[in-house]
Amino acid sequence: MINNFIFDAIRRMARKETLTNDQIRYNREVRAQYPNISTQGAFNVEMRNLIGGFNVGTTTAKVTDKYTTPKEDSFLSGITTYDNLKFDLSAPYIDADGVEWKEVGKAAQGQQTPPNAERLSPKRLTTSISISREVIMGNNEIEQQLTDAIVRAMYSKVVESMLSSFSGDTDTPKGIFADVTPQTLASVEDLIGMQCTGDDNKTDNVWVISPRAKKHLNTLNYDLLRGGEFLNTRAICENRMESPFIAYMPLKLAVLGLWGPVSITVDNVTQLVNGKVVISIDFYANFAYLAPDLIQLGRFQEEATEGNG
């Protein structure tokens, strides 16, 4: 199994055993790389190792493959991701208005103020998983299932928070729809109008559709949404999107930053009487949308009426 190196460390912590020299060295190296967000007393793992695995040699654990996000996830695979960050992120962005023809040898004017000058700092996502002591202490090969559960839960929460209108607070990032006013939709013509407005921006757009919006589309015309396309444009039906929104937008302008390590701690005391071990995971991420004015956001008339009531 590709993540046996990590799972063996978790099992050793659950048994209160000493980590191997390779595990100790790897943990020390990760903490040294990310001193501000790694956790003392935890086993700190880079996300690329958690997903991609290791080739453990005689001196240290080395990455064999790098998978920043789950490849099969339609939404995550379409956005822009920066991983293994150590400092705040200021994602680069420039549009056609910032490009000009100029006489050779003359300085370009360029854009005075970037569309998104906001710096992203790491936010902490945390979760806990209870596992039977019999399973964790034994030789059951559940490392892949455990890794999949951790990665799936963490990324799902990121997408759910990103595709929302939440205004943000100290702990939680602002959703990418927070600064976008949704237009009320009542017909296919309204949707075509959304698409035309988006295409006027000369960007590569996709539809992102929430479950309730999908239901409305099928009510209008079942044949509108089929084969992964809507109105002849790629469509992602996203269950983690805030309902009842439907959006038409350039997906690549959604930026996800991933900082350093995933910190794993093992508590073999709290649930001891229940025969369980508690594994806690901290994950550091943040996101933004670089040009919110390019998002065409809609909600259907019935939904808008309910929201105002």
Domain count, the chain: 1
> Quick one: which of 255, 266, 274 has its CA closest to 85?
255
Residue the block writes with tokens 């590709």: 2
Whether the Cβ atoms of residue 277 and residue 16 lie closer than 8 Å to each other: no
Q: Quote the mean pLDDT of the chain.
A: 82
Residue 305's alpha-carbon distances to 76, 153, 198, 301, 309, in angstroms, are: 32, 33, 25, 6, 6
Segment (H or E) for 32? helix 21-33
Q: Given this model, what pLDDT does residue 201 score?
A: 81
Give the C-alpha separation, 208 to 245, whole Å.
Answer: 9
Residue 273 inside a domain? The answer is yes
Residue 258 inside a domain? The answer is yes
Average pLDDT of the segment spanning 91-117: 65
Q: Given this model, what pLDDT does residue 53 score?
A: 55
Phi, psi dihedrals of residue 226, rounded to the nearest 5°: -160, 150
> Quick one: which of 255, 224, 273 has its CA closest to 68?
255
Residue 206 inside a domain? The answer is yes
Residue 67 inside a domain? The answer is no
Q: How confident is the model at residue 287 (pLDDT cuts 50, 70, 90)?
A: very high
**pTM (two decimals):** 0.82
* Ramachandran sector of residue 207 (left: φ over 0; alpha: ψ -120 to 50; beta: rest): beta
- pLDDT(79) > 50: yes
Average pLDDT of the segment spanning 277-306: 86
Residue 110 inside a domain? The answer is no
Phi, psi dihedrals of residue 15, rounded to the nearest 5°: -85, 0
The parent domain of residue 171 ranges over 72-90+117-309
DSSP, residue by residue, 168-203: --SSSPPPTTTT-PPEEE-SHHHHHHHHHHHHTTT-
Q: Per residue in 133-189, pLDDT tens?
A: 877 776 556 666 777 777 888 889 999 999 999 999 999 999 999 999 999 999 999
Residue 301 inside a domain? The answer is yes
Highest mean pLDDT among 101-110, 186-195, 267-276 belongs to: 186-195
Residue 202 inside a domain? The answer is yes
**Any idea what DSSP says for residue 17?**
P
Residue the block writes with tokens 């086993």: 43
Q: Per residue in 229-241, pLDDT tens?
A: 999 999 999 999 9
CB hemisphere CA count around 18 (13 angstroms): 4
Give the C-alpha separation, 173 to 93, whole Å.
Answer: 20
Which pair of structure tokens corresponds to residue 196? 């035309």
Pairing relationship of beta strands 246-250 and 261-267 according to DSSP bridges: unpaired
CB hemisphere CA count around 30 (13 angstroms): 31
What is the helix, strand, coil percentage profile of the chain, to 5?
35, 25, 40
Mapped onto helix, strand or coil, the DSSP state of residue 98 is: helix
User: Residue 101: which residues within 8 A CB-CB, separation 6 or more?
Assistant: none
Residue 58 inside a domain? The answer is no
User: Residue 233: which residues within 8 A CB-CB, separation 6 or more?
Assistant: 195, 205, 206, 207, 248
Give the C-alpha separation, 260 to 89, whole Å.
Answer: 13
